[in-house]
Amino acid sequence: MTDERTRLRRKREELDAELSALGAVLDGMEVSTDAMDDAIAAATEARDTATDAFLPADRLPETVTADTRGVVASYLDSIGELQDVRSDEVELTDDRLQAEAKRATDARADIEEISAALDRIGDRIDEAETTVADAREDLDDTRSRFTDDLAVLAARFETFDIALSPETLGAVIDDRLPERRSEMRASVERIEERVVDLTTRQSTLATERDELQSIDGGGSCPTCNQTVGSDRTASELEAIEEELGQIEHRLETARREREELLAGIEELEELRGTAISLRSLKSETVASAAGRVEDREANLADLRADHREARSERAEAKAERTRADATVATLEIERAGLEADIDRLGAKTDAGATCLDAFELVEDLQAELETRVEERSAQEAAYEETEAERASIDVELEALTDE
């Protein structure tokens, strides 16, 4: 029983929330319906005012109703018929005027079109001048970058006794650099041969020194098997040590020279890569920048020629417009009265269309109100159904409490 009461209480809470939501919706619908009533009243008043202004007294009924729309439409048709009559009356004048008006219109259209084209060409000329300036600046920057990079590279090449200039760049890359690299490698090989010779001599002297040291104080020379005194041994050892010191110094010098040459060869390879990139900059980037300058200058020249031609064409169109306007002005005086009448009828037609729109708006608002009333009725039914279900739950809860 406790579980059932809990379930019913939860269900009641859900229904309370639903009733609250439905109540809020109904309140909103009531406000919306009131607003629709106000809108219909305002639209009806505007319709009646427009009808009073449009219909002549002999066609205006005492009270404007939905049926009055037919009277408005009929009168609007009669105005259209009257406009047709007036148009027929001016047909001959219009025929005469049409040809001259067309000449003037065509001339104006030509002037507008040519003026627009001149504006576009002028804009394109401005853009082209900017692009030419940009291209020239880019070319100058590229040439300057090439010159600066070449100067830096030339300074580094000087350490290798290689003269570098814009004219000798290709020869340096293809001929002088390989030659200098070969010379340096040959020097490395000569140094390595010298190192081998010195190392061999060093080893020989070291052996002789060790043997002489072993007989220091008297004995037989290991080389000639003759008896050697201590004074002679000391003299020979001193000479050997002196030569060994010289050899060690020469070896250190040779090894240092070899490392410097190897580092120079490696640097030379790096410089060759930089030189190749610089040659590409000259042959491709600089040439491309120069080509862009040439192309853009040619385009600018074409645009300026087009601009001169368009100005000449516009001058001719303006002369044609002046002649046509003079003829049109004469003909328009003859039909000014008829145009005024047609304009008045046109304004009346606009007023009639506005009046019909007012009738249509009232009808649309009334249909919308009917729809909203139906929706509110359905919402009220849902509210009542929910209230009944809520009351039923209260009854069940009371029954469970009594038990």
Nearest to 141 by CA among 278, 285, 275: 285
Question: What distances in angstroms separate CA 273 from CA 87, 139, 172, 266, 307, one per listed residue?
Answer: 87, 23, 12, 11, 49
The pLDDT value given to residue 113: 92
Bridge partners of 227, per DSSP, are: 220
pLDDT band for position 293 (50/70/90)?
Answer: confident
C-alpha dihedral over 164, 165, 167, 172, to 10 degrees?
Answer: 10
Q: Mean of the pLDDT values across residues 84-103?
A: 85
Identify the top-confidence range among 177-186, 199-208, 287-296: 199-208
Distance separating alpha carbons of residues 304 and 121, to the nearest angstrom:
8
The pLDDT value given to residue 4: 78
pLDDT beyond 90 at 206: no
Per-residue pLDDT reduced to its tens digit, 333-343: 888 888 888 88
Q: Please say whether the beta carbons of 316 and 33 come within 8 A.
A: no
107 CB burial (10 A radius; 0-12, 13-18, 19+): buried
Between CA 192 and CA 196, with CA 193 as vertex, the angle to 5 degrees is: 90
H/E element holding 227?
strand 227-228
pLDDT beyond 60 at 218: no
Residues 6+ apart with CB under 8 A from 187: 257, 261
Q: Please say whether the beta carbons of 386 and 18 come within 8 A.
A: yes
The pLDDT value given to residue 313: 92
Q: Mean of the pLDDT values across residues 2-26?
A: 79
Q: Mean of the pLDDT values across residues 69-85?
A: 88
Q: Mean of the pLDDT values across residues 208-235?
A: 65
53 CB burial (10 A radius; 0-12, 13-18, 19+): exposed
pLDDT band for position 222 (50/70/90)?
Answer: low
Q: Mean of the pLDDT values across residues 178-196?
A: 82
Q: Locate tokens 């059932």: which residue?
A: 4
Q: What percent of the chain has pLDDT over 90?
A: 9
pLDDT beyond 80 at 232: no
Nearest to 33 by CA among 47, 18, 41, 386: 41
pLDDT beyond 60 at 374: yes
H/E element holding 147?
helix 91-158
Give the residue with greater pLDDT, 240 vs 177. Answer: 240
The pLDDT value given to residue 193: 86
Per-residue pLDDT reduced to its tens digit, 109-163: 999 999 999 999 999 999 988 888 888 888 777 777 777 777 777 777 777 777 7
Label the pairing between strands 227-228 and 219-220: antiparallel
Give the residue with greater pLDDT, 196 vs 2. Answer: 196
pLDDT beyond 60 at 229: no
pLDDT band for position 317 (50/70/90)?
Answer: very high
Global confidence as pTM:
0.35
Identify the top-confidence range among 134-148, 210-224, 292-306: 292-306
Distance separating alpha carbons of residues 313 and 107, to the nearest angstrom:
11
Q: What percent of the chain has pLDDT over 70?
A: 93
pLDDT band for position 281 (50/70/90)?
Answer: low
Q: Mean of the pLDDT values across residues 345-367?
A: 87
DSSP labels for 10-41? HHHHHHHHHHHHHHHHHHHHHHHHHHHHHHHH
Distance separating alpha carbons of residues 47 and 152, to the nearest angstrom:
90
Say which amino acid occupies 269: E
Q: Mean of the pLDDT values across residues 158-178?
A: 75
Distance separating alpha carbons of residues 101 and 81, to the nearest angstrom:
26
Distance separating alpha carbons of residues 374 and 331, to the nearest angstrom:
63
Identify the top-confidence range among 80-94, 159-173, 286-300: 80-94
Q: What are phi and psi of 227, to 5 degrees?
A: -70, 135
